[in-house]
Amino acid sequence: MAGLTNMPITDIIKKRKSSRTYTDKPVEIKKKEQISQFIADLNKPPFGSAARFEMVDLDLNVTGKVAGTYGVIKGAETFIAGIVGKGPGDMEDVGYLFERIILFATAIGLDTCWMGASFSRELFAEKITLKPEETLPVVSPIGYRAGRRSLTDLVFHMSAGSKNRKPWPEIFFYHTFNEPLDKSRAGALEMPLEMVRLAPSAVNKQPWRLVADDNAVHFFLKRTAGFKSMFTMDLQRIDMGIAMCHFELAANIAYKSGRWKIEPPGIPAVPKDVEYIATWKYLRDI
């Protein structure tokens, strides 16, 4: 990733786990500098949104709980905040870029936790000087996970059910939504699709639906009923950006080249609760 780590992306994706309980060991200056450099080297996201990312230090209270995280995070002092300019594709773009940062932090030995709802936007906004044209959809602690989870951490971990991933036929399709795609027919797409299947998502809803054809993979969002109205930010569009990040990083290994296009395909009988997001066009490296 950006030439700063030699760990295979598949190993990084599999290694990443959400951590809400941290030791009091601070993040080393060298690792902070590595993250800052990685952020500085990020390319523009698929929709071209203006996004920026800042490291923020917060205060711990006597119990180790972090101010501004409603008791969810314990022990972490350093956070990364994801800020993006409002516009079409903004949530997908911030999800796409932020997951790249999360994966890089994982590769250099740090633990993280995606947070899209359980943090005080007002507190973080004061730390980063949020502009009127910007939103602050996500933050993540960075640090070193503790040996034992806090009670709050255990509750979140068990309720999220993050180990339960949807089976291939439920989320991957071939040409139309009426033809599920299984691994035996995926060919070189098997690894990129599996990396999408392992992507994190809000409350583990896994809203992505991918339709493969002869030279492209089309990304669709299947919304969870009532989910959008529960949160200030459109978390499931952020989830789509995470899925796009995983797919691209893995597809760059499986194929010679590829790029994102916003060109709705003429797929017949798209389910009513499914909306088009983006398309990855690729060349086979076989």
In CATH, what number is assigned to the domain containing residue 268?
3.40.109.30
**Res. 153: pLDDT tops 90:** no
**Mean pLDDT confidence for 235-241:** 97
Q: How many domains does the chain have?
A: 2
Q: Is 208 in the same domain as 240?
A: yes
Least confident of 147-156, 211-220, 242-251: 147-156
Give the residue among 87, 93, 115, 7 at the shortest CA–CA distance from 43. Answer: 93
Token pair in block for residue 101: 């940062």
Q: Say if residue 11's pLDDT is above 90.
A: yes
**Where is pLDDT greater, at 285 or 48?**
48
Q: Let me know if residue 89 belongs to a domain.
A: yes
| pLDDT at site 264 | 93
Mean per-residue pLDDT for 193-211? Answer: 97
**Strand duo 172-174 + 208-212: pairing:** parallel
pLDDT band at 1 (very low <50, low <70, confident <90, very high): low
Q: Is residue 2 part of a domain?
A: no
Query: Averaged over 134-146, what is the pLDDT?
Result: 96
Where a domain ends, among 129, 158, 187? 158
- Domain CATH for 13: 3.40.109.10
Supply the pLDDT for residue 285.
43
Residue 14, pLDDT above cutoff 70 = yes
Same domain, 121 and 180: no
Span 249-267, average pLDDT: 89
Q: What is the pLDDT of residue 60?
A: 66
Q: Read off the pTM.
A: 0.92
Write the single-letter amino acid at 62. V
**Residues 179 and 149 grouped into a single domain:** no
Tens digits of residue pLDDT in 55-111: 998 876 645 567 667 678 998 999 999 999 999 999 999 999 999 999 999 999 999
Predicted pLDDT of residue 62: 47
- Asked whether residue 226 falls in the same domain as residue 266, the answer is yes
Residues 6+ apart with CB under 8 A from 123: 58, 67, 68
Domain-ending residue, one of 158, 184, 202: 158
Q: How confident is the model at residue 2 (pLDDT cuts 50, 70, 90)?
A: very low
Q: Please name the residue that has the structure tokens 């959008």.
A: 228
Model pLDDT, residue 245? 98
Choosing from 158, 189, 224, the residue where a domain stops is 158
Residues 138 and 178 reside in one and the same domain: no
The type of residue at 253 is: I
Residues 197 and 127 in one domain: no
Query: Does the pLDDT value for residue 286 go beyond 50?
Result: no
Same domain, 178 and 132: no
Least confident of 86-100, 126-140, 180-194, 248-262: 248-262
Residue 221 in tokens: 């969002």
Q: Are residues 101 and 175 in the same domain?
A: no
- Domain range spanning residue 101? 9-158
Q: In terms of domains, do 14 and 105 share one?
A: yes
190 and 119: one domain? Answer: no
For residue 158, pLDDT over 60 is answered with no
> Does 41 share its domain with 123?
yes
Same-domain check for residues 105 and 34: yes
Structure tokens of 180?
Answer: 């599920």
Residue 234 in any domain: the answer is yes
- Per-residue pLDDT band for 149 (boundaries 50, 70, 90) equals low
